[in-house]
Structure 1
């Protein structure tokens, strides 16, 4: 440390990573607070006002400081150095949190070392991943009345395990059951898989699926809350998606094959990830699957698990609920841990669809673009010249248009709006389709009152209606 660096530390004063002390009193409190936080430094020989009063470092003092660190539980890793007449104690962020001293557990909050109460300690341990929700046992579970044999037998079938084994023996081997006072209890992973009513024990276990009209959360067309075992919730959610997502068709040889607009492989990976990686300690929110006209959104409580850096997302696997993940792997719902994100993106890439978007703060969100949105995105340069993108999108959604027909009709409206082409023949010639196709499109636009024909049959032309002009102006105004 240079003189200049020391002067900067002294001038800036105490903070999240800096503590000034005149003596060794209450040093253990500062050590565990820094170890429980992001590490820091204690400047011994500096008072609270930043005045250097000095502190002598000899072998006895050095031994005392080391003893204080070693007497913490677990011991705190420190390095002691002397600079001029100041002793500097460097504390690294602990690898085995939480740390405590004889006075309790402390955490660095701003420039202070704050003592944690019981709830603080529980929350801290949860956030550090020291307590895993799926490993916790629930003593309220009554094995005789609450265990669902049908769910259990279905799981055995998926795993290829014989039904001849006793359920309790299988559950023991899977680390899902314990026995105390002649009573068997399941942990939370076992409850999510094999309870008759998991929601009775884990209220946040259900999955909510919603279909909206349009692109906002205003008009609900369909909603289902699934609160069965975790595998049934996944399958019921996939059924809901299949019911409401569009089908596309391809001709292979003489047979017609149908597939979802978003590949089922990607959907399954996203839904399974949402139920096994969610933060079940968060009781105020469920997994949500929301279908809009332009997108599909899957959201689960909990961002990235503790220990996973955002730069490593999609490449390194850190599992928040390892037992749930292991059971899903056994049941064939996961091919290999840590490959889900890549499988989603590859499934979309194989069909030349846009990548899924991932957001992770307090919630983890996957966003899939739907066909109407994709079609408009490909033509965004054209739409932005005359009609804002949201005009084309709203038009497509309101009248259930997509693909080439949507392109044609937007081009017809744009041509009339700019007075470029105004007759049926001109449309057919410049858009390169048959007269009959253009006649059908024009009839549609007249029916929805977006255009009107004015003048004699042979010399008249098409104009935008007041209704259409108003819509265009409104979207232009909203864009700006």
Structure 2
């Protein structure tokens, strides 16, 4: 058999895969698996025989999509679905089911997105866990909200104003989550998993790259182009195809991409915490300034230390010490017990 770039090879109605000097004839299941892996069978364009338009189609979700996408709402539903490429063999295809079914997980259990918040650097203690099993857009929004809600807020002082921002920007979260949802392998039974540890944020999705790893961020090639098109119409991300570049520029060495033939992993280092864990209602673990860290560390050594003594140790005047102490109390890192003269400090979370 002559070698070439196309695979598998077909001879006299049989399919073969080249393995070194030998050619292995493929069985039916092997042919299907190979075609899926090589993206020769498209999940998103495949007609869904189990979906019944009259019973399963959510017209409110469809109307919301048409409105947000800026489409003509007077056009018949069937006409719009055809123009969007969501009808295959007179049936709604899988992309349409993910977007407009009343509950996508009824048809695809693997469309569920699982989000987990852990209390430390390991999986030993789960603080919160949610499974999102609705339509594509609802799952996306809920996953972003869960991530923003559980990540810390950092406080940036610019001149006399204080700005608040999540430790991982909403743009980065939206890009990473939508990439996982649009580029994942839906033929796999695996689910998208978002895990938030005390020291890192991770997203994993089934499906490796369709191109060389060295080309990640340089080219855009999706195994689910219909889903990408629908996302683009809704402007869920700033610009299709440029997300990885922007994320790398923003996150620099905090982000890594781990890829194998079947899975895609993203890991982001979180800013160093004052302590591990999360406490309800507390803004603990927020990023501290250099002076605040010095103050905090000295208080840990001497709980009875006064503002005057801190001024001598840190090297700034008493007024600035008091401002930083107020900030640390606002962030619920420390608290004052008793009076200024006879009281002492407590480290929140050490009790």
Q: Could you state the TM-score of these two structures normalised by the residue count of structure 1?
A: 0.60
For these two proteins, the number of residue pairs brought into alignment is 320
Whole-Å separation in 2 of the counterparts to 1:371 and 1:107? 48
Q: Does 1:235 align with 2:141?
A: yes
In the other structure, the counterpart of 2:200 is 295
Q: Does 1:245 align with 2:148?
A: no
In the other structure, the counterpart of 1:219 is 125
In the other structure, the counterpart of 2:346 is 444
Other structure's SS at 2:272 match:
helix
Q: Does 1:282 align with 2:188?
A: yes
Whole-Å separation in 2 of the counterparts to 1:446 and 1:240? 25
Whole-Å separation in 1 of the counterparts to 2:182 and 2:349? 50
Higher helix share: 1
Other structure's SS at 2:17 match:
strand
In the alignment, structure 1 segments of 5+ residues that lack a partner are 1-30, 32-90, 374-394, 417-422, 450-480
CA shift for structure 1 position 110 = 5.9
Q: Does 1:106 align with 2:8?
A: no
CA shift for structure 1 position 258 = 2.6
Where does 1:287-436 land on structure 2 (aligned, <5 Å)? 287-305=192-210, 308-348=211-251, 354-361=253-260, 362-372=262-272, 396-397=275-276, 400-401=284-285, 402-404=287-289, 405-410=292-297, 429-432=312-315
Whole-Å separation in 2 of the counterparts to 1:266 and 1:192? 23
CA shift for structure 1 position 410 = 4.6
What are the superposed Cα offsets for residues 67-118 of structure 1, whole Å, 9 maximum, x if unpaired? Answer: xxxxxxxxxxxxxxxxxxxxxxxx43333x3321127212234664322110
Q: Retained in 1: the 8 A contact 2:220–2:241?
A: yes
Whole-Å separation in 2 of the counterparts to 1:326 and 1:144? 25
Q: Structure 1 122/215 Cα, relative in aligned 2: closer, same or farther at 3 Å?
A: same
Whole-Å separation in 2 of the counterparts to 1:201 and 1:370? 36
In the alignment, structure 2 segments of 5+ residues that lack a partner are 279-283, 326-333, 337-343
In the other structure, the counterpart of 1:166 is 76
- 2:28 equivalent among 113, 118, 135: 118
Q: Retained in 1: the 8 A contact 2:58–2:102?
A: yes
Q: Structure 1 252/445 Cα, relative in aligned 2: closer, same or farther at 3 Å?
A: closer
Q: Retained in 2: the 8 A contact 1:213–1:221?
A: yes
Q: Retained in 2: the 8 A contact 1:134–1:187?
A: yes
CA shift for structure 1 position 364 = 1.2
User: Which consecutive segments of 4 or more residues in structure 1 shift more than 3 A?
Assistant: 108-112, 249-257, 346-349, 398-402, 404-413, 423-431, 433-437, 439-449
CA shift for structure 1 position 282 = 0.7
What are the superposed Cα offsets for residues 302-359 of structure 1, whole Å, 9 maximum, x if unpaired? Answer: 1212xx111111111111111111111111123333111122234446xxxx542211
Other structure's SS at 2:39 match:
coil
Whole-Å separation in 2 of the counterparts to 1:268 and 1:209? 14
Q: Structure 1 347/156 Cα, relative in aligned 2: closer, same or farther at 3 Å?
A: farther
Whole-Å separation in 2 of the counterparts to 1:321 and 1:196? 21
- 1:176 equivalent among 66, 78, 86: 86
In the other structure, the counterpart of 2:330 is none
In the other structure, the counterpart of 1:201 is 107
Q: Structure 1 407/325 Cα, relative in aligned 2: closer, same or farther at 3 Å?
A: farther
Other structure's SS at 1:133 match:
coil
Structure of larger gyration radius? 1
